[in-house]
Chains A and B, each alone.
Chain A
Amino acid sequence: MDIFLQQLVNGLTIGSIYALVALGYTMVYGVLKLINFAHGDLVALSAYIGLVIMMQLAGALSPVLLIITTFIATMIIIATAGVILERTAYRPLRKAPRLSAVVSALGASLVIENGIMLIWGPMPRIFPASAVPNANYNIGNVYISLMQVLVLIISFVLMVALYFFVNRTKLGTAMRACAIDQDAARLMGIDVNRVIVTTFVIGSALGAVGGLFIGMYYRGIHFNMGWIYGLNAFVAAIIGGIGNIPGAMLGGILLGIFNAFISGYLSSSWALALTYVLLIVIMIIRPTGILGERVAEKV
Chain B
Amino acid sequence: MDTKKIVSYGVFFAALIIVPFIFNSNWTSVFTTFLIYSAVALSQDIVLGRAGMFDMGHAIFFGLGAYSTAILNMVYGWPILATIPVAIILPVIASILLAAPIIHLRGDYLLVTTIGFNIVFIQALKNNVFGITGGPNGIFGVEPLKLFGFSFSSQTSIYFLAFFVLILTLIIIHNLETSKPGRALHYLNEDSLASECIGINTRFYRLYAFGLSAAVAGLAGVVFTLQFSAVSPDAFDFIQSVLFFTIVLVGGPSSIPGVLLGTFFMFVVPEMFRQFAEARYLVFGIAMILIMIFRPKGIWPVKFGKIPNYITKE
Contact = CB atoms under 8 A, between A and B. Distances in A.
A147 interface: no
Interface stretch (B89-97, B116-124, B174-182, B219-227): B116-124
A9 to B, nearest CB: 26
A115 B123 contact: no
Given A97-B297, A297-B193, A272 B119 contact: yes
A104 B292 contact: yes
Given A106-B288, A117-B278, A283-B102, A35 B108 contact: yes
B170 interface: no
B2 interface: no
A111 B115 contact: no
Interface stretch (A44-52, A72-80, A86-94): A86-94
* Chain A: interface size category: 35 or more
A103 B249 contact: yes
Given A35-B111, A93-B293, A110 B116 contact: no
A172 interface: no
Interface in B51-91: 54
* Chain B: interface size category: 35 or more
Nearest to A292: B109
B250 A238 contact: no
State the main secondary structure of chain B at its contact with A: helix
A98 B107 contact: yes
Interface stretch (A54-62, A148-156, A227-235): A227-235
A115 B282 contact: yes
A19 B115 CA distance: 20
B110 to A, nearest CB: 9
Given A104-B293, A272-B123, A118 B113 contact: no
Which of A97, A99, A117, A118 has the most chain B CB atoms closer than 10 A to its own CB? A99
B246 interface: yes
Interface in B240-292: 242, 245-246, 249-250, 253, 278-279, 281-282, 284-289, 291-292
Given A115-B282, A238-B112, A269-B127, A280 B117 contact: yes
B105 interface: yes
A1 interface: no
Contacts, number: 123
A279 B112 contact: yes
Interface string B287-314: 1110111001100000000000000001
Contacts of B109: 238, 283, 287-288
Contacts of A128: none
A118 B282 CA distance: 9
Contact of A107 (B101, B285, B296, B314): B285
A284 B101 CA distance: 7
A92 B296 CA distance: 10
Given A102-B111, A103-B291, A280-B116, 16 more contacts: A29-B108, A96-B292, A97-B296, A103-B292, A104-B289, A107-B285, A107-B286, A110-B282, A111-B289, A113-B281, A115-B282, A279-B112, A280-B117, A283-B112, A284-B101, A297-B193
Sorted from nearest, which 9 A-B pairs have the closest CB atoms?
A: A107-B288, A110-B285, A273-B123, A111-B285, A276-B116, A96-B296, A100-B296, A114-B282, A107-B289
